[in-house]
Amino acid sequence: MNELSEKNVLVCVTGGIAVYKAVALVSKLSQAGFKVKVIMTESAMEFVTPLTFQAMSRHEVYTDTFDEKDPSVIAHIDLADWADLVLVAPATANVIGKAANGIADDMVTTVLLATTAPVWMAPAMNVHMYDHPAVIRNIRRLHDDGIRFIEPSEGFLACGYVGKGRLEEPEKLTELVGGFFSGTKPLQGKKVVVTAGPTRERIDPVRFLTNFSSGKMGYAMAEAAAGMGADTVLISGPVSLPEPPGVRVVRTESAEEMLNAVLAEYDKADWVIKTAAVADYKPKEVHGRKMKKQEGGQLLELERTADILLELGRRKSHQLLIGFAAETNDVEKYAKEKLEKKNADYIIANDVTEANAGFNTDDNKVTLFGKHAFEQTFPLLPKKELAKRLLTAILEKEDANDR
């Protein structure tokens, strides 16, 4: 018997044009072997009829809190108890706002209050709605309450805008649900904070200092941590990458902004993985207007930026602190020095001059250094695969240390 056939997924469908994707989602979840039941809001039924979801799920569709067909149970409590996972897809700004404030005025929001199962929300809405401070505030509140968000993707929206707001594809959502139920979740209950990408240090309104970091390694680490069950926060410098599913992303620009963002999460973090390539120096003076060309050379005076890893090492109490070292020579020497100086638990080091590895590549080749002369080398691997192997190696080492 397919082990997934024992898992119950309750799909809550709320009113938006992305409801048509929810039909495909229910179909794919059913094909994957899950038992699927559907609740629809009144608005959702303006787009698709309950009969469509009934055909895809092969179960009765629920639409009205007061429509009690079985007198032996209370329908919304029975559904809340039945679910192993509750997935709200699409999750509109309206249902996010109601859930964040404990409002239960229809069957979907009543079940959300009654269930003890994990709750996932897959938002879909206009890009400006998604960026509205009220929506951001509500998402953050629900995230703090333990609800996982599947970030929307970017693309052409039904309203005519191009931007972030598209419901994640049904195939990807089904894959995430399958991953949730299969295998162990060794980071379940842990909060993992990951930094990624470059920082920018402004010179004037049109120029800045930065580096070649693409953010790919950090984003892969965040995705791997979330896949292992961690409550994951990704603090990202300016990059052009899609947000990893199930990860809360905080956008920053300068080294100082990144430090402040990390410190805001630090006390409650269990693991901190500092993958970002932070600028070591910034202009001593930031010009308010564009610096005009002059005859001859131009002297730019620099000063040190905050050393984020060093500061985290100084403040470390219970956190497991993992740093990266991107080097061009003497990789082992500099990595071991960094491990001691920064009071880190592990340093992941690589030679960025190696072909097909390092910055702006899809692959990487690294060595993991830990205290007490621990060392493990990894071959050239896709960054997503490497991230999983690195986290697994650290988990195994920490488990051995505890024994």
The yes-or-no answer on residue 159 being catalytic is yes
State the pLDDT confidence band at 353, using cuts at 50, 70 and 90: confident
Reported as a pLDDT band with limits 50, 70 and 90, residue 163 is: low
What burial class does residue 156 get, using C-beta atoms within 10 Å of its C-beta: 0-12 exposed, 13-18 middle, 19+ buried? exposed
* Cα–Cα distance, 298 to 327 (Å, whole number): 29
Tokens found for residue 54: 């009934």
Task: Supply the pTM of this predicted model.
Answer: 0.63
Least confident of 149-153, 246-250, 354-358, 372-376: 354-358
Q: Would you say 36 and 57 are in contact if contact means Cβ atoms under 8 Å apart? A: yes
Q: Are 249 and 140 in contact (CB under 8 A)?
A: no
- Top mean pLDDT of 105-114, 131-140, 366-375 is at 105-114
pLDDT by residue (tens digit) across 222-274?
Answer: 999 998 989 999 999 999 998 888 899 999 999 999 999 999 999 999 999 99
Pair 84, 181: CB distance under 8 Å: yes
Q: Residue holding tokens 């039904």?
A: 158
As a whole number of angstroms, the distance between CA 243 and CA 258 comes to 17
Rounded percentage of the chain residues whose pLDDT exceeds 90: 64
CATH architecture under which domain 191-285+304-402 falls? 3-Layer(aba) Sandwich (3.40)
Instruction: Place 158 in a pLDDT band, splitting at 50, 70 and 90.
Output: low
Q: What is the pLDDT of residues 384-396, one digit of tens each?
A: 889 999 999 999 8
pLDDT given for residue 394 in this prediction: 94
DSSP assignment, residue 120?
E
Same fold, 3-181 and 191-285+304-402: yes
Quote the percentage of the chain above a pLDDT of 70: 95
Pairing relation of β-strands 201-204 and 207-209? antiparallel
171, 213 Cβ separation under 8 angstroms: no
Instruction: Tell me which H or E stretch contains 121.
Output: strand 119-123
Q: What ranges do the domains of the chain cover?
A: 3-181, 191-285+304-402
**Of 152, 178, 180, which Cα lies nearest the Cα of 166?**
152
Q: What is the pLDDT of residues 53-105, one digit of tens each?
A: 999 999 999 999 888 888 878 888 999 999 999 999 999 999 999 999 999 99
Write down the catalytic residue from 48, 127, 159, 395. Answer: 159
| Residue 153 reports pLDDT greater than 70 | no
Secondary structure (H, E, C), 233-292: EEEECCCCCCCCCCEEEEECCCHHHHHHHHHHHHCCCCEEEECCECCCEEECCCCCCCCC
Cα–Cα distance measured from residue 105 to residue 83, given in angstroms and rounded to the nearest whole number = 20
Q: Which long-range contacts (CB under 8 A, 24 or more apart) does 47-54 make?
A: 47/15, 47/16, 47/17, 47/19, 47/20, 48/13, 48/19, 48/20, 48/22, 48/23, 52/23, 53/13, 53/22, 53/23, 53/26
Dihedral over alpha carbons 145, 150, 152, 158 (to 10 degrees): -90
With CA atoms as reference, report the closest residue to 382 among 184, 223, 273.
223
- What is the model's pLDDT at position 1? 42
Q: Between 50 and 131, where is the model more confident?
A: 50
The token duo for 165 is 């707001």
More confident residue, 45 or 291: 45
For the domain covering 3-181, report its CATH number.
Answer: 3.40.50.1950
pLDDT digit string, tens, across residues 309-332: 999 999 999 999 999 998 889 989
Give DSSP secondary structure letters for 149-217. Answer: E-PPEEEE-TTS-EEEEEPPPHHHHHHHHHHHHSS--TTTT-EEEEEESB--EEEETTEEE-----SHH
Q: Is residue 357 scored above 90 in pLDDT? A: no
Q: Angle at the Cα of 261 (from 280 to 360), degrees rounded to 5?
A: 55
Q: pLDDT at residue 349 above 60?
A: yes
For residue 400, what pLDDT is reported?
Answer: 72
How many helices and strands (H and E) does the chain possess?
13, 22
Torsion sign across C-alpha atoms 100, 106, 108, 113: positive
